[in-house]
Amino acid sequence: MSKRDYYEVLGVSQDASKDEIKKAYRKLARKYHPDVSEEENASEKFKEAKEAYETLSDQQKRAQYDQFGHQDPNQGFGGFGGGQDFGGFGDIFDMFFGGGGRQRDPNAPRKGADLQYTMTLQFEEAIFGKSTDVEIPVEEACDTCDGSGAKPGTTPDTCPHCEGSGQINQEQNTPFGRVVNRRVCHYCQGSGKIIKDKCQTCGGDGRVTKRNKIHIDIPAGIDEGHQIRVQGKGEAGVNGGPAGDLFVVIRVQPHEFFQRDGDHIFCEIPLTFAQAALGDEIEVPTVHGKVMLKIPAGTQTGKTFRLKEKGAPNVHGRGQGDQHVKMKIITPKNLTERQKELLREFNDISGNEATEEQHGNFFERMKRAFKGD
């Protein structure tokens, strides 16, 4: 079964705000939550809505989805990594009852967020690959306080209101029975800690933004829309969790002469009427340098020649594409008197013979078409 469009699943428009998306999801979650719903296929519908919400509520994933849909554009470079751990039903109950809190232990290690970086390459750079350094702003643990957020020499205190859990439980009677409503602890904002003396470098966040220089190897044959995953170069993990990944999204600038489709390169070469009729040997540019191409006498416009392995290397190392060279015969304009004279003479001695020879009885068919039979 093909997947439904995420916007359609949630019943929101493409430009829906984060709030609208959340509201729409909340409504569906209430309707289809498998613990409470009596609707048919509730659990599938719930799953579908959850998946749509997970994508559309995450700015990065949403952008990715808007661009590529359900398709995984990574083509072997690895998909979007973990990072987001949507724990079971905790999120749902929080949403039901307006807590908005987290069920997870605030002290548990969490993977850092994945980052996305768009890199624009020249046409040739994509074909031959490139080794480069990029500077990416990344949130990292603060060096001054080692990520604790507390002034060096001091330690954060455990929050007395939530006893370090970061959340406060409240029991509530609902139509479904007694439910525990978890709320973020407002005293510690869910961190479970109270910092009296804040670190001056990070202002108590424990994290600072740095410009990270990252080395990236672009493989030869990469193409528009491909992604390169650089493991561990996303945002720093929290509480000792692993760092997220960096995704480099590739854009390729168009070339003024070549077009590319996968591993193949296409171009069009103008020929004069005389070259096409008499044959010639011409120089054709390729990304690998000039190549001599023999044009046989009587070449027609639109005829395509293949220059084997003069295209782009396959990004997965599976051989090399070709260059396809299409002939375009240019009708001469602004002829001199002498040129006109020669062409008239040429016409007089050849008549329609040459054309009829190559196009069968084209003129016969055309005459019949005029008569309508």
Q: How far is the CB of 215 from Zn ion (least distance, A)?
A: 27
The residue among 255, 275, 279 whose CA lies nearest residue 267 is 255
Q: Which stretch binds Zn ion (CB under 5 A): 28-36, 59-67, 157-165, 353-361?
A: 157-165
Among 97, 128, 187, 266, binds Zn ion (CB under 5 A): 187
Among 161, 210, 255, 264, binds Zn ion (CB under 5 A): 161
CB of 63 or CB of 108, closer to Zn ion: 108
Based on the shown chain and the rule CB under 5 A, indicate whether residue 162 belongs to the binding site for Zn ion. Answer: yes
The residue among 323, 329, 337, 342 whose CA lies nearest residue 299 is 329
CA distances from 85 to 52, 173, 189, 306 (A): 15, 29, 20, 51
Which residues lie across from 230 on neighbouring strands?
246
80: helix, coil or strand?
coil
Q: How far is the CB of 202 from Zn ion (least distance, A)?
A: 3
Q: How far is the CB of 96 from Zn ion (least distance, A)?
A: 22
CB of 163 or CB of 356, closer to Zn ion: 163
Q: How far is the CB of 174 from Zn ion (least distance, A)?
A: 25
Q: Which residues are annotated as a binding site for Zn(2+)?
A: 142, 145, 159, 162, 185, 188, 199, 202
Q: Which stretch binds Zn ion (CB under 5 A): 29-37, 100-108, 183-191, 309-317?
A: 183-191
Residues 122-151 that bind Zn ion (CB under 5 A): 142, 144-145
The residue among 81, 40, 77 whose CA lies nearest residue 58 is 81
The residue among 82, 84, 113, 87 whose CA lies nearest residue 102 is 87
Q: Say how many residues touch Zn ion, by CB under 5 A.
A: 12
Which residues lie across from 251 on neighbouring strands?
120
CB of 106 or CB of 221, closer to Zn ion: 106
Q: Which residues are annotated as a binding site?
A: 142, 145, 159, 162, 185, 188, 199, 202
HSE toward the beta carbon, residue 38, CA cutoff 13 A: 1
307: helix, coil or strand?
strand
Q: How far is the CB of 318 from Zn ion (least distance, A)?
A: 49
- In angstroms, the CA 243 to CA 34 distance is 34
Side chain identity at 330, as an amino acid letter?
I
Per-residue tokens: 282: 């011409």
Q: Which residues would be at the binding site for Zn ion (CB under 5 A)? A: 142, 144-145, 159, 161-162, 185, 187-188, 199, 201-202
